[in-house]
C-alpha cells in the first residue's frame, strides 16, 4: 500500500471509529433505558439518545467521507474481494450511500411521526381500538413508500426496505420461497393438530426466579457465551445489544409460572450475543463489527434456542440438572415428557409465543400483508379483516379482537411498513442450512451436545460465520458456508424428521 492510500485509510478509520463509539454510547443509553432507568427519566433519556444519534448520523453523512471513499476506490479495486480493507471500504460505501440518499429533513419528519404513532399504539392496543391508530398507519404507509423511492431502480417497492435489514434479499426471491414454505407448513400443522398434544402443564408450575436465572446462565456459559465480555439483565422485551466487541449484553424476562419464557429467551439472545462476541477483533471501531443481516443474526439465535436447546441430546444432558434445581416441580416428569412438552406445536394467535412449526406462518402472514399494503392492493382500513382471514386460512385460528390481531406487533407502529418481518423466517431457513453443514462436517456434534459440550459447534460457527461480521453479504456468506444459495430443503427435512417422529406422522419425506 502506498503512503497516499495509507494516510487516506487512516483518516477514514479514525472518522469511522468516532461514529462507532457514538453509536456504542447510544446503545448504552438504550440498554440502561430498558433495564435500570427510573421511569421519570423517559423524556430526558429520549433527548440524550436523539442527540448522540444525530451526532453519529452527521458524522456519517459528512461529504469528507464520500471524498475519502472516492479517493480510495483505486486501492479497493487493486485488492482481492475478501481483503479486509476492501471489505471495509465496500461496506462503508454502502452505509454512506444509504444514509446520504435520504434527506435529513425527511428522516426527522418520519422519525417524529413514528414516535407519535408508537405513542398512540400503546393506547390503542389495550383499548382494542384499531381505528385510533389507523390514520397514523396510513401516513406511515405513505412515508414508507417515499422512503423506498429514495432508492429508485428497484424491482418491487418493498425491495429497498427489505435491503435495509437483509441486504440483497428481494421480493422476487422471498415471495416464491415463503409460498413454498407455506404450502409445506399448512398441511404439516393440520396433521399435527389432528394428534393428541403432549401434556405440558408441568411447565406452568411455580419456578422461583433466582433458580430459573441460575439455570439459564449455567447453560449459556456452557454454550460459550463470554461473561468477561457480556452480561445478562432483566427487561420487558428481551434483546441483545453491542456497546463494543468487548461488551455484548443480553436481556431476559422471567415468569415464575412459565418455565419456558426466561429459559428459551436466554438461549435465543445468547446466540445473538455469541455471534457479536465472535467477530474478528480487528474489526472493532469499523462498520464490519456487526452481524451481516437480520436473517443471519436470527439464524444464530435460532440455532442455540431450537436446533440445540430444543433437541433431545441437549435435554438428555440438562434435564437431570434442571430436575435437581426443581426437584418437587419436576418430580413426576421424565426427560422424554419434558422434551415433548418443550416441542409442543399448537396454532395460536401470538407470534412471539409460537412454536417452531407455526412460527413461520405468523411471519408469512405479516410479510404478505406488508407487500399488499405497499402495492396498494390492500388498504389500511381493510387490514384487520385481511389479518383475520389469513389466520383462519393458514393457522385455523381467528383472533377474537384486534388487540391480539393486527395490533399485536410493534414493528409497523414504531417503524416503517416493509422489510420488518422476513428476517425471522429467513433465520430459521438459514439456521437449518448452516446446522446441516456443521453436522455433515462434524457428525460428532449431537454426541457432544449429549455430554453438555458445545465447543465443536461453537468453534465451527465462529470460524464459518461469526468472525466475518459484515464482511460478506448474507447471500455471499450462505454460499461460502454451504456451497449453495438460500434453499428451503434442509429446513423442511429438519422439521419433517423432528416433528414426524414427535407426532408419529406419516409424511412423504421429500
Q: How far is the CB of 169 from Zn ion (least distance, A)?
A: 17
Stretch that binds Zn ion, among 196-204, 275-283, 299-307, 404-412 (CB under 5 A): 299-307
Report 385-414 residues binding Zn ion (CB under 5 A).
none
Q: Which residues are designated catalytic?
A: 269
433 binds Zn ion (CB under 5 A): no
Give the residue with the Cβ less far from Zn ion, 301 or 425: 301
425 binds Zn ion (CB under 5 A): no
Q: How far is the CB of 272 from Zn ion (least distance, A)?
A: 6
Q: How many residues bind Zn ion (CB under 5 A)?
A: 1
* Dihedral angle computed from the Cα positions of residues 62, 64, 66 and 67, in that order, rounded to the nearest 10 degrees: 170
Query: How is residue 472 annotated by DSSP?
Result: S
DSSP for 47-116 reads HHHHHHHHHHHHHHS-HHHHHHHHHTHHHHHHS-TT-HHHHHHHHHHHHHHHHHHS-HHHHHHHHHHHHH
Stretch that binds Zn ion, among 6-14, 122-130, 293-301, 359-367 (CB under 5 A): 293-301
Q: How far is the CB of 305 from Zn ion (least distance, A)?
A: 8
d(CA 179, CA 465): 27
Give the Å distances, CA to CA, from 250 to 268, 271, 273, 276. Answer: 10, 10, 7, 11
Give the residue with the Cβ less far from Zn ion, 271 or 384: 271
301 binds Zn ion (CB under 5 A): yes
Stretch that binds Zn ion, among 147-155, 250-258, 294-302, 311-319 (CB under 5 A): 294-302
Stretch that binds Zn ion, among 125-133, 136-144, 221-229, 301-309 (CB under 5 A): 301-309
Q: How far is the CB of 224 from Zn ion (least distance, A)?
A: 18
Give the residue with the Cβ less far from Zn ion, 23 or 303: 303
Give the residue with the Cβ less far from Zn ion, 151 or 239: 239
Stretch that binds Zn ion, among 47-55, 57-65, 279-287, 297-305 (CB under 5 A): 297-305
Distance spanning both ends of the chain, measured CA to CA: 53
Q: Rg for the chain (alpha carbons), in Å? A: 23
Give the residue with the Cβ less far from Zn ion, 76 or 269: 269
Report yes or no: 455 and 438 within 8 Å, Cβ to Cβ. no
Residue number with the shortest CB distance to Zn ion? 301
DSSP for 18-57 reads HHHHHHHHHHHHHHHHHHT--GGGHHHHHHHHHHHHHHHH
Cell of 26: 447510544
Closest of 374, 356, 357, 359 to residue 412, by C-alpha: 374
Q: 125-153 burial, b if ≥16 CB within 10 A, otherwise e? A: beeebbeebbebbeebbebbbebbeebee
- Sole residue written with cell 409445506: 184
Q: How far is the CB of 268 from Zn ion (least distance, A)?
A: 6
Q: How far is the CB of 357 from Zn ion (least distance, A)?
A: 18
User: Which residue ranges make up the site for Zn ion (CB under 5 A)?
Assistant: 301
Amino acid at each position: 500500500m502506498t503512503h497516499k492510500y495509507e494516510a487516506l485509510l487512516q483518516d477514514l478509520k479514525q472518522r469511522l471509529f468516532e461514529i462507532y463509539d457514538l453509536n456504542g454510547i447510544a446503545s448504552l443509553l438504550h440498554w440502561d433505558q430498558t433495564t435500570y432507568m427510573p421511569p421519570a427519566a423517559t423524556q430526558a433519556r429520549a433527548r440524550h439518545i436523539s442527540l448522540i444519534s444525530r451526532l453519529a448520523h452527521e458524522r456519517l453523512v459528512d461529504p469528507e467521507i464520500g471524498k475519502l471513499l472516492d479517493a480510495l476506490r483505486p486501492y479497493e479495486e487493486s485488492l482481492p474481494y475478501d481483503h479486509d480493507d476492501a471489505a471495509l471500504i465496500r461496506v462503508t460505501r454502502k452505509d454512506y450511500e444509504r444514509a446520504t440518499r435520504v434527506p435529513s429533513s425527511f428522516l426527522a419528519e418520519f422519525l417524529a411521526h413514528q414516535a407519535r404513532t408508537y405513542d398512540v399504539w400503546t393506547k390503542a392496543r389495550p383499548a382494542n381500538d384499531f381505528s385510533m391508530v389507523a390514520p397514523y398507519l396510513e401516513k406511515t404507509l405513505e412515508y414508507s413508500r417515499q422512503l423506498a423511492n429514495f432508492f429508485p431502480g428497484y424491482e418491487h417497492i418493498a425491495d429497498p426496505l427489505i435491503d435495509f435489514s437483509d441486504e440483497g434479499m428481494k421480493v422476487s426471491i422471498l415471495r416464491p420461497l415463503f409460498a413454498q414454505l407455506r404450502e409445506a407448513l399448512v398441511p404439516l400443522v393440520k396433521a399435527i393438530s389432528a394428534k393428541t398434544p403432549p401434556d405440558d402443564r408441568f411447565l406452568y408450575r411455580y419456578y422461583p426466579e433466582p433458580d430459573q436465572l441460575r439455570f439459564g446462565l449455567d447453560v449459556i456459559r456452557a454454550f460459550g457465551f463470554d461473561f468477561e465480555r457480556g452480561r445478562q439483565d432483566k427487561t420487558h422485551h428481551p434483546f441483545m445489544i453491542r456497546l463494543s466487541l468487548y461488551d455484548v449484553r443480553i436481556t431476559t424476562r422471567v415468569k415464575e409460572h412459565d418455565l419456558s419464557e426466561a429459559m428459551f429467551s436466554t438461549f435465543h439472545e445468547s446466540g445473538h450475543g455469541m455471534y457479536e462476541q465472535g467477530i474478528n477483533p480487528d474489526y472493532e471501531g469499523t462498520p464490519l463489527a456487526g452481524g451481516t443481516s437480520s436473517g443471519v443474526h436470527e439464524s444464530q439465535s435460532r440455532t442455540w434456542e431450537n436446533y440445540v436447546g430444543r433437541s433431545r441430546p441437549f435435554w438428555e444432558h440438562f434435564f437431570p440438572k434442571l430436575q435437581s434445581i426443581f426437584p418437587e416441580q419436576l418430580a413426576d416428569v421424565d426427560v422424554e415428557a419434558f422434551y415433548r412438552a418443550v416441542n409442543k406445536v399448537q396454532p395460536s394467535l401470538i407470534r412471539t409465543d409460537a412454536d417452531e412449526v407455526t412460527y413461520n406462518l405468523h411471519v408469512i402472514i405479516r410479510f404478505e400483508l406488508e407487500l399488499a399494503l405497499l402495492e396498494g392492493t390492500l388498504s389500511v382500513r381493510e387490514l384487520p379483516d385481511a389479518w383475520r382471514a389469513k389466520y383462519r386460512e393458514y393457522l385455523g385460528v381467528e383472533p377474537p379482537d384486534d388487540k391480539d390481531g393486527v395490533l399485536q406487533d410493534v414493528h409497523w407502529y414504531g417503524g416503517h411498513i416493509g422489510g420488518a418481518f422476513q428476517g425471522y423466517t429467513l433465520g430459521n431457513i438459514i439456521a437449518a442450512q448452516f446446522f446441516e453443514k456443521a453436522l455433515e462436517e462434524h457428525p460428532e456434534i449431537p454426541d457432544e451436545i449429549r455430554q453438555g459440550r458445545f465447543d465443536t459447534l461453537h468453534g465451527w460457527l465462529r470460524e464459518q460465520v461469526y468472525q466475518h461480521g459484515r464482511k460478506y453479504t448474507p447471500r455471499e456468506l450462505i454460499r461460502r458456508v454451504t456451497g449453495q444459495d438460500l434453499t428451503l430443503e434442509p429446513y423442511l427435512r429438519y422439521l419433517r424428521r423432528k416433528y414426524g417422529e414427535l407426532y408419529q406422522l406419516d409424511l412423504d419425506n421429500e
